[in-house]
């Protein structure tokens, strides 16, 4: 058995009503029923989480939230949703620190670290996102920026918490642009992240860490990523919105990682 089970997560962003989300799950599940070597997740909007979790019950499909409050389990934080509340409606994990949260809602490294903490404390899986902007890559600072983001996440964790987190490397310039990173760029960054994780913890922790690639992943390029030695799956935006297409993407990732 592989040391790291591949994980493919669909991030639906601000798409799909409750009815659309449930219809998706109903159409999607039979198409991935034979997939046993890949863990699959979807991240609907908050309002659809409960219904999607109910629709996915009895399957292996994981349901994740796209964000979580820095505070909790309750309090005077208008508009926020606590990690415990996400667990109550059937969530398995939370996408934390997505670049759209960092960019449009001012999430700093410290806020991302606080959200990872809350997610872990609620016994949920954080999928913590890191990634550089185009300016940073062109300035030659991509490795430094992403390493800083990673150390902010790893720093507050205890060694026994290290295996309870998944990382996603999502170069900002690749998200929603149709311009995916090359396999060489992805592999180099993933290797650097794993080496940094080893510095923060130890070699077994680094060997066990799952690092997903995200940024314009499609059915056509998924295999090029999942066949890389340090890529353990994908975080998929646009290509996860149609159940047939996402099922095909999952199947192709499995072929590549088999």
**Active site (catalytic) residues:** 98, 170
Q: Which of 11, 70, 149, 257 binds ligand PEP (CB under 6 A)?
A: 11
- Cβ at position 127, least distance to ligand PEP in Å: 10
Alpha carbons 44 and 22: distance in angstroms, whole number: 10
Q: Which of 171, 215, 233, 243 binds ligand PEP (CB under 6 A)?
A: 215
Coil, strand or helix: which one is 235?
strand
Residue 235, interface with ligand PEP (CB under 6 A)?
yes
Extract the tokens encoding 113.
């670290």
Alpha carbons 214 and 235: distance in angstroms, whole number: 5
Q: Which of 170, 189, 226, 231 binds ligand PEP (CB under 6 A)?
A: 170
Strand 93-96 relative to strand 210-214: parallel, antiparallel, unpaired? Answer: unpaired
Helix axes 18-28, 46-56, angle to 10 degrees: 30
Name the segment binding ligand PEP (CB under 6 A); options: 48-56, 168-176, 185-193, 194-202: 168-176
Residue 216, interface with ligand PEP (CB under 6 A)?
yes
**Strand pairing partners for 169?**
130, 213
Residue 237, interface with ligand PEP (CB under 6 A)?
yes
DSSP structure string for 215-244: SS--TTTHHHHHTSTT--EEEESGGGSSHH
Residue 136, interface with ligand PEP (CB under 6 A)?
no
Q: What is the DSSP code (8-state) at residue 162?
A: G
Query: Is the CB of 221 or the CB of 257 nearer to ligand PEP?
Result: 221
Q: Return the residue nearest ligand PEP (CB atom).
A: 237
Closest CA to 167 of 105, 223, 228, 230: 230
Residue 175, interface with ligand PEP (CB under 6 A)?
yes
Q: Which residues bind ligand PEP (CB under 6 A)?
A: 11, 170, 175-176, 214-217, 235-239
């Amino acid at each position: 058995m592989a040391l790291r089970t591949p994980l493919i997560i669909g991030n639906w962003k601000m798409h799909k009503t409750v009815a659309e989300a449930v219809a998706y799950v109903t159409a999607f599940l039979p198409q991935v029923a034979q997939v046993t070597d890949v863990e699959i997740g979807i991240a609907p909007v908050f309002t659809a989480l409960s219904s999607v979790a109910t629709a996915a019950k009895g399957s292996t499909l994981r349901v994740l939230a796209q964000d979580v409050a820095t505070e909790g389990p309750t309090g005077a934080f208008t508009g926020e949703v606590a990690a415990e509340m996400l667990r109550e409606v059937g969530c398995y994990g939370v996408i934390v620190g997505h670049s759209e949260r960092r960019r449009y809602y001012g999430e700093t490294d410290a806020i991302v670290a606080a959200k990872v903490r809350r997610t872990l404390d609620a016994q949920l899986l954080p999928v913590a996102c890191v990634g550089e902007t185009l300016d940073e890559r062109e300035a030659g600072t991509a490795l430094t920026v992403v390493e800083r983001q990673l150390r902010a996440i790893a720093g507050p964790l205890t060694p026994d918490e290290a295996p309870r987190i998944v990382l996603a490397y999502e170069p900002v310039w690749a998200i929603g642009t149709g311009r995916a990173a090359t396999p060489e760029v992805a592999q180099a960054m993933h290797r650097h992240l794993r080496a940094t994780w080893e510095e923060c913890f130890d070699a077994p922790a680094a060997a066990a860490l799952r690092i997903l690639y995200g940024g314009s992943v499609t059915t056509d390029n998924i295999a090029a990523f999942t066949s890389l030695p340090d890529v353990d799956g994908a975080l998929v935006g646009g290509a996860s919105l149609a159940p047939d297409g996402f099922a095909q993407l999952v199947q192709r990732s499995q072929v590549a990682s088999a």
